[in-house]
């Protein structure tokens, strides 16, 4: 985690005012490579109202409205992100807004 904080701080993308070293994220991204476990996690989150959400419905090259505008063939990394990425809510941010 400290490695990623250092990278984000060096790039200027971390929230410099954050006291909790939270990376300046509104939602925390998490990779879920196992489709069955990811599906179970999302279903349970919906049932319990936890706010864990899938992120991208598909990779950019598969969006029908962009067909013909994205040059190139397959985008395996983007496809795996769309398939695997979920985000966790940052409850500390929600509590501060209340």
Cα separation of 16 and 29, whole Å?
Answer: 19
Which of 33, 10, 20, 29 shows the shortest CA–CA distance to 84? Answer: 33
pTM (2 decimals)?
Answer: 0.62
pLDDT of 5 = 60
Pure H helices in the chain: 2-11, 35-48, 76-84, 91-97
Q: List, for residues 12-53, the tens digit of each pLDDT value.
A: 555 544 445 555 677 888 899 999 999 999 999 999 888 899
Q: List, for residues 66-79, the tens digit of each pLDDT value.
A: 878 888 778 899 89
Residue 87 CA from chain centroid, whole number: 4
Q: Give the angle subtended at the CA of 89 by the CAs of 48 and 56, to the nearest 5°.
A: 95
């Amino acid at each position: 985690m400290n490695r990623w904080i250092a990278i984000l701080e060096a790039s200027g993308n971390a929230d410099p005012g954050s006291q909790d070293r939270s990376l300046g994220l509104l939602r925390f991204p998490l990779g879920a490579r196992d489709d069955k476990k990811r599906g179970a996690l999302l279903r349970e989150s919906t049932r319990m109202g936890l706010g864990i959400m899938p992120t991208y419905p598909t990779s950019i090259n598969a969006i029908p409205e962009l067909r013909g505008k994205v040059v190139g063939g397959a985008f395996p990394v983007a496809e795996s992100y769309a398939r695997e990425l979920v985000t966790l809510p940052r409850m500390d941010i929600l509590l501060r807004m209340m």
